[in-house]
Structure 1
Amino acid sequence: MIYENPLAYVLGLEGLALLRSFTGEYDRAFVEARVAEVRALLDDESLVDAAVEVARIGTVDGYQMWSRTYDGPNTAFAFDEPVIEEMLDGLPTGTSLDAACGTGRIAAVLSERGHQVLGVDSSPEMLDRARVRVPGGEFRLGELSRLPVADDDVDLVVCCLALTHVPDLRPVMAEFARVLRPGGNLVISDIHHERVARGSVPSVRLPDGTPGRLETYRHPVGDYLRAALPAGFQVRRCEEPLIPLPEPSEVRDPPRVPGVGPWEVWPWSLADLVPEAAAAANAGVPVEIIWHFELTGSATRPAPTADQG
Structure 2
Amino acid sequence: MKIFDAAKDLPDELRTVLDDITDALDARANADRAAGANRDAISAGHDRIAELEATSKALDAQAVKVEASAAANASLRAEATKAAKAADKAASELDDARRAHERRVAAVEHLNAEARSIDESIPELKKRLQTAMGNYRKQILAAVNEDLIKACAPLVPVIRAIAAVDAVMPNGGLAHDWLDCAKLISPVGYRSDHLQHHVRVSGTDLLATSDPLPELPTGAVIAVQEIVAVSTALRQHRAFQPPTPQAPHTETRQRGAREQQRYDEAAERIRQSEEEFDRRQERSKEHKTGNSWSFGEPGGARSARPAEINMGPPIPLNDS
TM-score (norm 2): 0.15
Report which of the two structures shows the higher radius of gyration computed on alpha carbons.
2
TM-score by length of structure 1 reads: 0.15
Q: Point out which structure has higher relative CO (alpha carbons under 8 A, 6+ apart).
A: 1
Question: Which structure shows the bigger proportion of residues in strand conformation?
Answer: 1
